[in-house]
Structure 1
Amino acid sequence: MKRDLGTRLRTARLAKGRTLRTVATAAGISPSLLSQVETGKSQPSVSTLYSLVTHLGLSIDELLAVSAEPPTAPAEPTDERSRAPLPESGAIQRREDNPMIEMENGVTWERLAVGGFGIADPLVTTYAPGGSSSIDGRLMRHSGVEYGYIIEGELTLKLDFDTFTLRTGDSVCFNSVRPHLYINQTGNVTRGLWVVVGGHDNAAASDLLAEHAVPLAGDRSMRTAVDVLAAMREPGRR
């Protein structure tokens, strides 16, 4: 189920009374590119999308929101599975109902069930051959803690000053404020399961991050990988 990403971004921008130029400047892109994204003529990269949602105060869940309202009249069961007792509303999300967004550079996100809790963004990510989370190779950073697992294929992760090759069965976990970049440098599609905890303004998630001393991307004192690494060496950082 593909979502109209551009329309949702435009609605959020207008709701906050911000101009194309203001938001584009904050996200580090041109107003013309933002206009093309909002009208569906172009897709943002992963890093650009994170910049936009951070500036607009959105979450990935809000961009890919699925209505949790139950149908007014359930259809007649057609198979044994549908005859089974239905779980609590919102607990189950069928594969065909998974919201999806396609981004520039061959990256697709498929949002899994969140149950309305809003604490984490669970995603199935797909990187086409040559796909990258950034258009120009710049490392991105954002709020939250990032967990990843490679289902199939191979993905290169640039984290701070190091480069790692992730293969099927490998997993990662790091503070998303650390500069990072994903690239599929192979000729095959790479799929992974990703969960970002506390990637947006949520009280429960914020408390969790504070408990573990995770710095937020909004911390203006940390602009580079050097700043982040220095902060992690401070007393009290885990």
Structure 2
Amino acid sequence: MPHKKTADDNAGAPANGANPDEETQKLGQRIRDLRLKAGMTLTDLAKATGVSIGTLSQLERGLVSPTVRTVYTVAAAFGVMPAWLIDPSSSKHAENRYIVRAGERSHLLDIDGIRKDVASPAASKRLRGFFMVIQPGCHSGTQPYSHKGEEIGFILSGALELQIEGETFTLHEGDCFAFPSDKPHRFANSSARPSTVFWVNADI
């Protein structure tokens, strides 16, 4: 018995007979894979997005390129980022904006026994977090310094001497500190082992 063509079988080809480009085909395949994984028919997806069945069918087969609106509505229907739908590798770029992995911190400085790595992601504009390692006997300088903003820190290991307005505090693993950055301050590690600190500067 011959198969009766339904709306979900709607097929077509570009009017000019041109071959679909590779990226458009890959995008269409991703849409199809997501739809099948979600257990949806083209009719279901059309209802969820407001995009016609015919257009969705052509998209899945890479015969047409989607509009920006279609990319966003289809991505929303599947619960994925629009950028991922266009280019799955972009998910790594998104991660880099919001996440800094332990082995991917950028080195800000490594001098005079003090290493300072940037620990905060690019999405943080007013807060900058740093992973710091201060070797025994090393310090920020003999004279206190000051600047605008606020700062807060957490001693991850070892000990740290923190001087604020001439008063010295000895901090140990698990201790936390905070102070306005315009207060003259300096720090030093007078212990026998390295001190590691998560230090945050706030630009306010």
Q: Which of residues 70, 74, 77 in structure 1 aligns to 2:89?
A: 74
Cα deviation for residue 92 of structure 1 reads 2.0
Which residue of the partner structure matches residue 184 of structure 2?
Answer: 179
Cα deviation for residue 119 of structure 1 reads 0.7
Partner-residue secondary structure (3-state), 2:98: coil
Q: Which letter maps to 1:127?
A: I
**TM-align CA RMSD:** 2.7
Which residue of the partner structure matches residue 118 of structure 2?
Answer: 111
Matched-pair contact (CA < 8 Å) for 2:145–2:184:
yes
4+ residue stretches of structure 1 with deviation over 6 A?
A: none
Q: Which letter maps to 1:169?
A: G
Q: Distance in 2 between matches of 1:87 and 1:114?
A: 11
Matched-pair contact (CA < 8 Å) for 1:152–1:192:
yes
Which residue of the partner structure matches residue 5 of structure 2?
Answer: none
The share of aligned pairs that are identical, in percent, is: 23
Aligned positions of 1:48-197 closer than 5 A:
74=89, 88-89=94-95, 90-134=97-141, 137-197=142-202
Cα deviation for residue 161 of structure 1 reads 1.9
Quick one: structure 1 residues 169 and 127, their matched pair in 2 at CA, closer, same or farther if it must change by over 3 Å?
A: same
Max radius of gyration: which structure? Answer: 2
Q: Distance in 2 between matches of 1:116 and 1:91?
A: 6
Which digits, 9 at most, give the CA deviation of each residue in 1:152-211, with x for residues without a partner?
00011111121110111111110011001100001100001111101xxxxxx3xxxxxx
Q: Distance in 2 between matches of 1:74 and 1:139?
A: 46
Q: Which letter maps to 1:144?
A: G
Cα deviation for residue 73 of structure 1 reads 7.3
Larger strand share, 1 or 2: 2
Cα deviation for residue 130 of structure 1 reads 0.9
Matched-pair contact (CA < 8 Å) for 2:114–2:135:
yes
Which digits, 9 at most, give the CA deviation of each residue in 1:8-48, with x for residues without a partner?
xxxxxxxxxxxxxxxxxxxxxxxxxxxxxxxxxxxxxxxxx
Give unpaired runs (5+ residues) of structure 2.
Answer: 1-83
Cα deviation for residue 113 of structure 1 reads 2.9
Cα deviation for residue 88 of structure 1 reads 4.0
Give unpaired runs (5+ residues) of structure 1.
Answer: 1-69, 76-84, 199-204, 206-238
Partner-residue secondary structure (3-state), 2:161: strand
Q: Distance in 2 between matches of 1:150 and 1:140?
A: 21
Matched-pair contact (CA < 8 Å) for 2:128–2:201:
yes
Give the structure-1-normalised TM-score. 0.45
